[in-house]
Amino acid sequence: MALAVLALTGPVFPEQTLPRLFLLAGLLLGLWALITIRLRNLRIVPEPAQDARITTSGPYRRIRHPMYASVLLVALGWLIAEFSFVRLGTWIVLFADLLLKLHHEESILEAAIPGYAAYKARSYRLVPGLF
């Protein structure tokens, strides 16, 4: 819902360079993540499939949640294209929601997939070198 609010309350394709860069970076990261895991392995629910394995190539080599990072980058581009405190609050809600989801997802994956704890130790949640 927060993503829709940001998309519908400002320009979808911003004219300014910086918002376009965030939008492009987010779209490319999301596409790279989808290509890496292959669409047939994409799951909407956090519970892993019976034969699930950790993907550690492509963006997953350094980032555990590149699709969440992708969404945040696109939303950040929309936010800065037409900044308002309402839109900032919406982005913060989106960020908090995705943070809660990734914590939940990681606890499930750590319990279900051997080696996930080691993968967590050598990778970042959303931003390589930072978080």
Chain-centre distance of CA 92, in angstroms? Answer: 14
Whole-number pLDDT of residue 103: 94
Whole-number pLDDT of residue 39: 66
Whole-number pLDDT of residue 41: 64
Report pLDDT digits (tens) over 4-21: 888 888 878 888 999 999
pLDDT above 90 as % of the chain: 65
Mean pLDDT of 94-109: 94
pTM of the entire structure? 0.89
Report pLDDT digits (tens) over 44-69: 766 777 777 888 999 999 999 999 99
Looking at every residue in the chain, the average pLDDT score rounds to: 89
- Which sign does the torsion angle of CA 56, 26, 42, 127 carry? positive
Burial (0-12, 13-18, 19+ Cβ within 10 Å), 57:
exposed
